[in-house]
């Protein structure tokens, strides 16, 4: 089979809760959650790629597309060959990638996108509060500085939001993300449970 992983994309601005929802979904059998930011943060920060990640992320910038896509592909290959991710059974839940239209194009031959869950949180101040709390807890440089946070929102509007127009409208679902994590989870599950159910009844044969 040409490896087009069946996947659900978690989409939304920094602080909208993609990681929180993705981690919970990843605990449900049959979902495999991969957050691009987590993969970057797990790099050896003294390696060449790790250093590049730090340079860009500490300024609130995106890592260049080519490096990001290459790292993502390598990581996916490793997850599959170690049977951590089993594409025939598991639905991939991607969070934080694609973050530019050029990344979406590069991933086109690798992903069969079943749904894009757009976590919508119009209250930017609330997202900033969430990010500052996270910075303290997780020691994240990109969320510690208010100027960097605001730059991340600018980058999101300019480079990431256009990704929404890349996918067909009928697979994009807006999920209100201002509520508590469990309320947001209910909306997320309403959307993904039927998709998983369909996938379970029609597993891929390779
Ligand atoms: P958040 O959860 O706040 O949206 P992430 O943990 O996903 O943030 O990403 C942290 C940083 O990692 C980004 O600001 C960026 O520098 C880098 N990064 C993550 N994913 C990508 C991507 N797909 N393309 C380029 N850079 C990325």
**Among 37-51, 81-95, 127-141, where is mean pLDDT lowest?**
127-141
Would you state the structure tokens that stand for residue 72, as one six-digit string? 């993502």
If you measure from the C-alpha of residue 82 to the centroid of ligand 1, how many angstroms do you get, rounded to a whole number? 25
Q: Where are the domains of the chain?
A: 5-200
| 60 in Cβ contact with 144 (< 8 Å) | no
Q: With a cut of 60, say whether residue 153 has pLDDT above it.
A: yes
User: 158-170 burial string, b = 16+ CB within 10 Å, else e?
Assistant: ebbeebbebbeee
Atom of ligand 1 nearest to the CA of 103: 23
Of residues 179 and 1, more confidently modeled: 179
Predicted confidence at residue 1, as pLDDT, reads: 44
Local structure of residue 179 (DSSP, 8 states): S
Report the separation in Å between the CA atom of 197 and the middle of ligand 1, taken as the mean of its atom positions: 30
- For residue 25 and ligand 1, the question of a CB distance below 6 A is answered with no
- DSSP structure string for 25-65: HHTSTTEEEEEHHHHHHTS-TTSHHHHHHHHHHTTTPPPPH
CA nearest neighbour of 163 among 204, 83, 108: 108
Running DSSP on this structure, what letter comes out for residue 97? -
Of 21, 40, 61, which is best to mutate to test ligand 1, by the most ligand atoms within 8 angstroms of its C-beta?
40
Residues of the chain with pLDDT > 70, as a percent, come to: 95
Query: Among the atoms of ligand 1, which is closest to the Cα of residue 13?
Result: 4
Q: Report the alpha-carbon distance of residue 32 to residue 27 in Å, rounded.
A: 8
Alpha-helical (H) ranges within the chain are 18-26, 36-41, 48-57, 65-81, 101-107, 124-138, 146-155, 181-201
Residue linked to tokens 């929102």:
153
Is the CB of residue 13 below 6 angstroms from any atom belonging to ligand 1?
A: no
pLDDT digits over 170-205, tens only? 999 999 999 999 999 999 999 999 999 988 887 665
Q: Which CATH architecture has domain 5-200?
A: 3-Layer(aba) Sandwich (3.40)
Question: Is the shortest distance between the CB of 127 and ligand 1 below 6 Å?
Answer: no
Tell which one of 63, 105, 154 to mutate to probe ligand 1, the residue whose CB is within 8 A of the most ligand atoms: 63
């Amino acid at each position: 089979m040409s490896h087009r992983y069946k996947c659900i994309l978690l989409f939304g601005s920094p602080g909208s809760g993609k990681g929180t929802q993705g981690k919970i979904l990843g605990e449900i059998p049959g979902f495999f959650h991969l957050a691009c930011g987590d993969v970057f943060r797990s790099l050896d920060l003294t390696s060449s790629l790790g250093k590049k990640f730090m340079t860009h992320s500490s300024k609130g910038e995106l890592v260049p597309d080519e490096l990001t896509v290459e790292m993502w592909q390598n990581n996916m290959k490793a997850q599959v060959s170690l049977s951590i991710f089993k594409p025939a059974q598991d639905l991939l839940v991607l969070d934080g990638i694609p973050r530019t239209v050029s990344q979406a194009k590069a991933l086109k031959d690798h992903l069969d996108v079943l749904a894009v869950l757009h976590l919508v949180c119009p209250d930017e101040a609330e997202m900033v509060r969430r990010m500052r709390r996270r910075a303290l807890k997780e020691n994240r440089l990109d969320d510690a500085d208010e100027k960097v946070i605001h730059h991340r929102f600018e980058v999101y509007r300019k480079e990431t939001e256009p990704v929404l127009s890349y996918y067909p409208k009928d697979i994009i679902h807006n999920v209100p993300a201002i509520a508590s994590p469990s309320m947001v989870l209910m909306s997320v599950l309403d959307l993904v449970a039927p998709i998983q159910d369909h996938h379970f009844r029609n597993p891929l044969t390779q």
